[in-house]
A and B are shown apart, each in its own frame.
Chain A
Amino acid sequence: MNNLRRYVTQLMGYPTAVLGLLMIIALIGVAMYTVITIPYERAIDLWRGHEESWAENPRNAKPKWVNYFRDGQLPETLVMRTQDPQASRIEQDLEGIRLVTATLSFDYHYDDFPSEVILFFTSKAEEQRPFVATTWILPDGRRIETDAQALASQQRVYLGLDNRVKRALGQVPAEIGLFSDQSGQLLKGTYQVEIQGYLFEESSDFDAKLVVYGKVHGWAGTDHMRRDLMVALMWGAPLALAFGLLAALGSTIATFIISAIGAWYGGWVDALIQRITEINLILPVMPVLIMVGTLYSRSIWTMLGVVILLSIFGGGIKTYRSVFLQIKTAPYMDAARAYGASNMRLIFRYMIPRMIPVLIPSFITSIPSFVFLEASLALLGLGDPTLPTWGKLLQDAFSNGAIFKGHYYWILEPAVLLMITGLSFAMVGFALDRIFNPRLRGL
């Protein structure tokens, strides 16, 4: 306990270690918060991208904070519903046919055009489906009409694909044409969408939702499938930490036990372990992992197991073995045995304390390499297909040409988080190495 306190005090003497510790604590905090607020199943479900969960998100939208760094404000997504109290709704009776005129209006004050405009209709009817026609009214009073059409129970009208809108706008895409004056300049002000629906049955009805997709969304932005990157950024933390910690823990403990066995028994056991270590050195880890990923399973937990198996006979064995040999022949061990110390006492009072200085730093510094290994596999397309990890985000960004299209946030966000994770553990690990190995302390 006293030892521990001393080590902690020493650790506090290294500013980089303190910074690293703070970053680790922050990461763990984020990871715990994420696991509590977005349960595992919900995260997988969200990330598989059901249309309903993300339908109101724009595609490839930048994060909100980019607005702080630019002159013109990029638009956020606007959603207007006919059920909203501010929407107007007038009903007329035309000899058995009801004419419902619903008007949605919104103010548009952003400095850029939106990215998409979609009208979502839901309707109910027994036999004869409602018939609607929509008119887009710009702040300057111009009216652009869409084709009239019969509604299915769920229907989307992409204003950009409507024939009459196309004819009215010519070559200009709808999200620009519907928001500009005659000279092509962005028009700010109050827009109205007038929806005229003919209902042929007593029980029939319809509702509409207008979504004007923006160019920024949330604090993280969205990807090509409208998914909010925040889910993956947040869930990436517990997954990266779990993978890194478990792999580091598993391989450190296994390596430790094996080197202990080799050093204790010596002879052919030791020789065998040495030979296996040499073979393991030549076994190409990454291609073998790739083989396992392509031929058997891409589950992150299978990969974790294989990674641990492959790193058991790693470079650590030689270091641990030499320390074990030192302990085995140390006079104080003989002395302890001579006064009749129990095996338990030998192990816990004499051996473990000697091993900790070697084990702890190598454990901590190996965590980043496993975190990056997971990201590497994901980048090769061998990530767990269901889970949102930082590596998967990078891979998505890469395969969708984020770097060429200028969606830098898509690459930078997961990359910065990976960097923080890697750096924090490395910083603490290096400091611990210097504390535990006094020979390095002054250097």
Chain B
Amino acid sequence: MSQTGTANAGMGRLALRDFGGTGLRLLRYSLVRAISIGITVVIAVYLTIIIANMGGQVDQIRKAEIQEQIGLSFMNNPAVRDMTPEERLALQEEMLQIEIERLGLNRPFLLRSFSYLWQGLTLNLGRAEQMSSDTGSRQVRLILLERLPATLLLWGTAQILVFVVAILVALWLSNHYGGILDRLIIALTPLSAAPAWFYGLFLILIFSAILGALPYGGMVAAPPPTDPKAYALSVLRHLILPVAAQFVSGIFILIYNWRTFFLIYSSEDYVEMAKAKGLSGHLVSRRYVLRPTLPYIITNFMLMLISVWMGGIILETVFNWPGLGKLLYQAIHLFDTPVIVGSTVLYAYLLAITVFFLDIIYALVDPRVRVGAESRQP
């Protein structure tokens, strides 16, 4: 703690004088984190592939794809037109065997799993069995990436809103604790036990079915407005309910946790000291309470974000939001294994990026990382 204190005090000077060193350290820290998260992703994707291939699913995808290619090449090949069907089938079978051997599908699984790993990591998972992208492609990668913006829009809007509101309210409550609002928020904390989709059901029921005020689901009115401004407004209208659902599900526990952090830290001696110096309440909360708690808050938020990513799959299904989660739902019902495996990999990436992003913010706000105190600690 004392180290943090001195680091905090010397921050202003350090930042000016030693900017190059700090920047370099941050860069090195980011690089180290990126590599270690990268390795974790590789292992996570490898596990995914192993799980998917325990039933031989990935093998089947590959074989079906080769078979289709050979079939296509035969269809357009004038050279085989004169063969009898039996000859053609035999040749096809022979080519299939050659191709299987060429691609190493007859190698032991351990070796093959590494080539699958590479394909998984590059999202190069071949072609979907049933589904296609809006542009008509059967490439799993294109199908997945097409849905990504919708998911990011919904998730990003909701999480930024939750984060900002939770911090502001928590800070305010930590200064006014014991009041009616404070007790109300504590009483409402158990509401966070239910996931966002659950509140989504109620919100749809109230605002769409009974009041008819907001759309049941989807991302934009049908047919989509041609005017960009009207389009944006329509998307906004469709965003209200799913964002509200995430808000209700996430906000109370965060406010409660963070207000508790703030309260614990507001009883530290240096906060009393700052108050005694006659600093304004605002300044005290911002500089002496918020700053040292930020690393904890970010860790706490990160854990919540990870569970929110998973809950988003069902939220999108409930609200018919055309994102990754809805795609996964459709893939389950069509038994489209390449898409299911692909979205699992993509979700692993999204989680990893979330973790990495928060790690960087953590580094920015945690003085121990910023000034390299960590390396000096035992």
Determine the distance from Cα of A285 to Cα of B193 in the docked complex, in whole angstroms.
Answer: 18
Chain A residues, CB < 8 A from B117: none
- Closest chain-B Cβ to A35's Cβ sits at a distance in Å of 25
Which of A281, A284, A375, A382 touches B332 (beta carbons < 8 Å)?
A382
Q: Which residue of B lies closest to A294 (CB)?
A: B332
**B187 with A406: CB separation less than 8 A:** no
Given A403-B205, A415-B201, A296–B55 Cβ distance below 8 Å? yes
Cβ of B318 within 8 Å of any chain A Cβ, yes or no, is: yes
Cβ of A432 within 8 Å of any chain B Cβ, yes or no, is: no
**B332 with A290: CB separation less than 8 A:** yes
Chain A residues, CB < 8 A from B264: 439, 443
Determine the distance from Cα of A288 to Cα of B192 in the docked complex, in whole angstroms.
Answer: 24
Cβ of A369 within 8 Å of any chain B Cβ, yes or no, is: yes
Chain B, interface residues (CB within 8 Å), range = 35 or more
Q: Which residue of B lies closest to A285 (CB)?
A: B310
**A283 with B333: CB separation less than 8 A:** no
Task: Flag A364-381 by CB within 8 Å of B: 1 or 0 each.
Answer: 010011001001100111
Determine the distance from Cα of A286 to Cα of B337 in the docked complex, in whole angstroms.
Answer: 15
Stretch from B5-13, B23-31, B35-43, B278-286 at the A interface: B35-43
Determine the distance from Cα of A283 to Cα of B48 in the docked complex, in whole angstroms.
Answer: 8
Stretch from A1-9, A167-175, A219-227, A423-431 at the B interface: A423-431
- Closest chain-A Cβ to B258's Cβ sits at a distance in Å of 12
Chain B residues, CB < 8 A from A438: none
Task: Flag B57-72 by CB within 8 Å of A: 1 or 0 each.
Answer: 1000000000000000
Cβ of B250 within 8 Å of any chain A Cβ, yes or no, is: no
Chain B residues, CB < 8 A from A380: 313-314, 317, 329, 332
Cβ of A419 within 8 Å of any chain B Cβ, yes or no, is: yes
Chain B residues, CB < 8 A from A315: 303
**B205 with A422: CB separation less than 8 A:** no
- Closest chain-A Cβ to B305's Cβ sits at a distance in Å of 11
- Closest chain-A Cβ to B19's Cβ sits at a distance in Å of 31
**A372 with B313: CB separation less than 8 A:** no
Determine the distance from Cα of A286 to Cα of B318 in the docked complex, in whole angstroms.
Answer: 16
- Closest chain-A Cβ to B192's Cβ sits at a distance in Å of 7
Interface pairs A-B: 8 shortest CB-CB: A426-B190, A284-B347, A426-B193, A287-B344, A368-B193, A286-B310, A422-B193, A283-B44
B: residues with CB less than 8 A from A are 36-37, 40-41, 43-44, 47-48, 51-52, 54-55, 57, 177, 187, 189-195, 197-198, 201-202, 204-205, 208-209, 216, 259-260, 263-264, 303, 306-307, 309-311, 313-314, 317-318, 328-329, 332-333, 335, 337, 340-341, 343-344, 347-348, 350-352, 355
